[in-house]
Amino acid sequence: MRVRLSAVGYLNSRPLVHGLEEDAARFDVSFDVPARCADRLHAGEVDVGLIPSIEYLRGEYVVMPGVAVASHGPVASVVLFTRAPLDRVRRVAVDTSSRTSAALLHVLCAERWGISPSFAPHEPHLGDMLEVADAALLIGDRALFSEPGHAGVRQVDLGAEWTAMTGLPFVWAFWAARPAAADGELARALVAARDAGVAAIDAIARRFAAGDPVRRARAAAYLRENVRYDFGGAHRLALERYYAAAARLGLVPATRPVRYCDAALQATVERGGGGHR
């Protein structure tokens, strides 16, 4: 039987699925926004989902080892656009595609910036969001390529803010699976797809940009300089800290350790130190 995969359709996830779409005999790949990927895994519609990291705590899943969408410092595609200084932000419009980023925003507001704004879900249209709120959280390609269009709008990179606060990377998403669907062979296939995708960044950026050289250069630089695709020991520690903060704020009922489908493969990854941006 084919493995049903739900993958995020954003540019930052394309290196993780490179080649999987062509292996139709083995994989049935569909694309959606991160929140919908999680919903499909929760509903049992897919076997494996590239889910927002916070969603791991909302189901009984195992993590596919070695692979994530992560950052260490600025991520460039998870951005708070604000018309006011951070200490004066009272209302934030939050991209409805976002769950991990929305929870991270709550954590940063409470533990880094010392503010407690209200949060309002909103379709990801920056101009409309800034009409109804002091600030707007956008994720993915919209955040990466958005221009504020308003004078005096400041951009705050949530990846940079997390790393400045903790010294750790941040894990935005990873492959999570129902335990019955996960094994070492599948885990190795996903690592191999990641490796092939990282090696094909120029081709991925060229296809994404569809003939626009400026967009192509921006996409390639983003995939090389901002996004990282490893899942090592530091990423596990970062997740544990993030989960603990989310639990303190009541964003999740409780935290629990990260459980891998192949602990031996994950240990090998952590000993090797990774190396894939």
Domain range list for the chain: 3-69+171-272, 78-166
- Of 136, 76, 129, 133, nearest to 105 by C-alpha is 136
Look over the chain and give the mean of its residue pLDDT values, rounded to a whole number. Answer: 92
Dump pLDDT digits (tens) for 195-211.
Answer: 999 999 999 999 999 99
- Given a cut of 80, is residue 111 above it in pLDDT? yes
For the stretch 69-84, what's the b/e string if a residue is b when 16 or more beta carbons lie within 10 angstroms of its beta carbon? bbbbbbbbbbbbbbbb
User: Do the two domains 3-69+171-272 and 78-166 of this chain adopt the same fold?
Assistant: yes
Taking a C-beta distance cutoff of 8 angstroms, is the pair 185, 26 a contact?
no
pLDDT given for residue 160 in this prediction: 98
- Given a cut of 90, is residue 133 above it in pLDDT? yes
Domain 3-69+171-272 has what CATH class?
alpha beta
Residue 50 to residue 34: CA distance in whole angstroms = 7
Q: How many helices (H) and strands (E) does the chain have?
A: 10, 11
Residue 9 to residue 50: CA distance in whole angstroms = 10
The architecture in CATH of the region 78-166 reads 3-Layer(aba) Sandwich (3.40)
| Helix boundaries (H) for the chain | 34-42, 100-108, 126-132, 140-145, 158-166, 184-199, 201-209, 213-225, 233-248, 263-272
**Neighbouring-strand partners of residue 80:** 137, 156
Residue 173 to residue 229: CA distance in whole angstroms = 10
pLDDT given for residue 272 in this prediction: 67
pLDDT given for residue 271 in this prediction: 73
Q: Tokens for 271?
A: 């000993």
Taking a C-beta distance cutoff of 8 angstroms, is the pair 91, 134 a contact?
yes
pLDDT given for residue 276 in this prediction: 58
Dump pLDDT digits (tens) for 25-84.
Answer: 889 999 998 889 999 999 999 999 999 999 999 989 999 999 999 999 999 999 999 999
Rounded to two decimals, the pTM is 0.93
Residue 242 to residue 135: CA distance in whole angstroms = 23
pLDDT given for residue 261 in this prediction: 87
Dump pLDDT digits (tens) for 149-178.
Answer: 666 899 999 999 999 999 999 999 999 999
Q: Tokens for 184?
A: 């070492």
Q: Give the largest CA-CA distance in the chain.
A: 54
Taking each helix axis from N to C terminus, what angle separates 233-248 and 100-108, rounded to the nearest 10 degrees? 70
- Of 228, 226, 257, nearest to 241 by C-alpha is 257
- Given a cut of 70, is residue 257 above it in pLDDT? yes
pLDDT given for residue 56 in this prediction: 95
pLDDT given for residue 226 in this prediction: 97
- Of 91, 72, 75, nearest to 83 by C-alpha is 91
pLDDT given for residue 69 in this prediction: 97
